[in-house]
Structure 1
């Protein structure tokens, strides 16, 4: 049974990590695998009454791998901790099958209550580096937690959560494994969203101006509804948009023409 679990763990690591080139490399060089093997041993001791020995084995595992897993934590098959350093899994945490954690993840408690106080991760969950999943909450099957997110409430199955506190940015279930909890396409572009918001507000203002022009003059003016195009860098240099620049140039030419005409009239008189 233990050998079969070890085989499944090695196979899952090679499937999920493109840097794993052979089973021997995984056995010798992956602290996540070492931590889970030692956890199974410490858990065996814990549930047979040798609790101090179980905690000691867990402590030794933390020293050599940088991964702290309480002996009482429940962990399913094919569990993968990539890189490993800084991972903390609390006493009442429950982890399903095919779950992936990256370095710096904490599955922690938020109270001194002796009962269930750590999170439950269902099958296929991916938690990105530095994320904190805190309290007796449930992260649904296939959900993804982005790097450095702080999750304090239940997470529905198949969604992507990012931010502090974590919020849902996508509801999608993919069959393909996605490293670090989410792909670049999952993150919305904040600049694009801000530009879209500004354009929407400008459009609403222009519609209102057209309504007011129609009420005053019976029809909108010629300039109403046009959005001046800003040449890149103009805003930073404090320059005016093209439309205003053209209008200013036209006014300057008219002023010069009028001045020349006045000069000629003065000479003739």
Structure 2
């Protein structure tokens, strides 16, 4: 158990350059929220629902992170900062990173069907701050959800989702293979689809042609002045 804790703290340190030691990581609200969730989830599976909720409410008070006791969470989840909500039927894989103010929310329960209502995050997913991932969708392995994106459809493996409503961007293979990208958004790569870049290049080419034409017209306009000056 001690070795698993050390491995978990080291996984957090690999994704966050701020802490100077493992002891500092032990003070993180996300670490406390995950530890208390393990207790609440154990009680929930034992059908001790009131006690599970009691632990859940205590955790929310001290961490500002609300994880329903029924949520299934894999190894090495890192919740950076707080104000995150994870719903009852959410499933989270291994080595997932969630930044502040994220919601893994459910669909409208008024149809009377409980079932699967919340997202499934596969391994190595990164959810940027303020993102809303809603409904029983699947976010594929190594996918990234950018800050403040709203995702309501399945996300392919390795895709980066941005915007309202989130759309997938084309991510180069070398970016997809990176172990970790902070906030889920590759800051040194274009975040718009390639068609936009092609359009920009086209417009820049047209501007260059227009500039050349203007210079040619200026040269033609200056020729009579030069000739008149020579004759005089």
Query: 1 CA distance for matches of 2:192 and 2:149?
Result: 17
Q: How does 1:108-257 map to 2 (within 5 A)?
A: 108-112=105-109, 113-171=113-171, 172=173, 173-188=176-191, 194-199=199-204, 202=206, 227-229=209-211, 241-250=214-223, 253=225, 257=228
Q: How does 1:10-49 map to 2 (within 5 A)?
A: 10-27=9-26, 29-49=27-47
What per-residue deviation string (whole Å, max 9, x for no partner) do you get for residues 215-261 of structure 1?
A: xxxxxxxxxxx82328xxxxxxxxx954444455557x38x959xx9
2:169–2:192 CA contact under 8 A, matched in 1: no
Q: Which runs of 5+ in 1 are unaligned?
A: 204-225, 231-239, 265-269
**CA shift at 1:21, angstroms?**
1.5
- TM-score scaled to structure 2, two decimals? 0.84
Query: 1 CA distance for matches of 2:60 and 2:220?
Result: 71
Question: Equivalent residue for 2:84?
Answer: 87
Question: Equivalent residue for 1:51?
Answer: 49
SS state at 1:71 partner: coil
Q: How does 1:258-269 map to 2 (within 5 A)?
A: none
**CA shift at 1:175, angstroms?**
3.6
Q: 69-78 or 142-151: which moved more?
A: 142-151
SS state at 2:133 partner: strand
Larger relative contact order (Cα-Cα within 8 Å, sequence gap ≥ 6): 2
- TM-score scaled to structure 1, two decimals? 0.73
Q: Which runs of 5+ in 2 are unaligned?
A: none
**CA shift at 1:97, angstroms?**
0.6
Query: 2 CA distance for matches of 1:118 and 1:174?
Result: 27
Query: 2 CA distance for matches of 1:138 and 1:169?
Result: 17
Structure with the greater alpha carbon radius of gyration = 1
What per-residue deviation string (whole Å, max 9, x for no partner) do you get for residues 136-161 of structure 1?
A: 00011111111111111111111222
Query: 2 CA distance for matches of 1:142 and 1:152?
Result: 18
SS state at 1:229 partner: helix
**CA shift at 1:64, angstroms?**
1.2
What per-residue deviation string (whole Å, max 9, x for no partner) do you get for residues 55-114 of structure 1?
A: 12111211211111000000001110112x221100100000111100111111122141
Residues 132, 247 of structure 1: alpha-carbon distance in 2 compared, 3 angstrom cutoff: farther
Residues 189, 180 of structure 1: alpha-carbon distance in 2 compared, 3 angstrom cutoff: same
Question: Equivalent residue for 1:100?
Answer: 97
Q: 37-46 or 70-79: which moved more?
A: 37-46
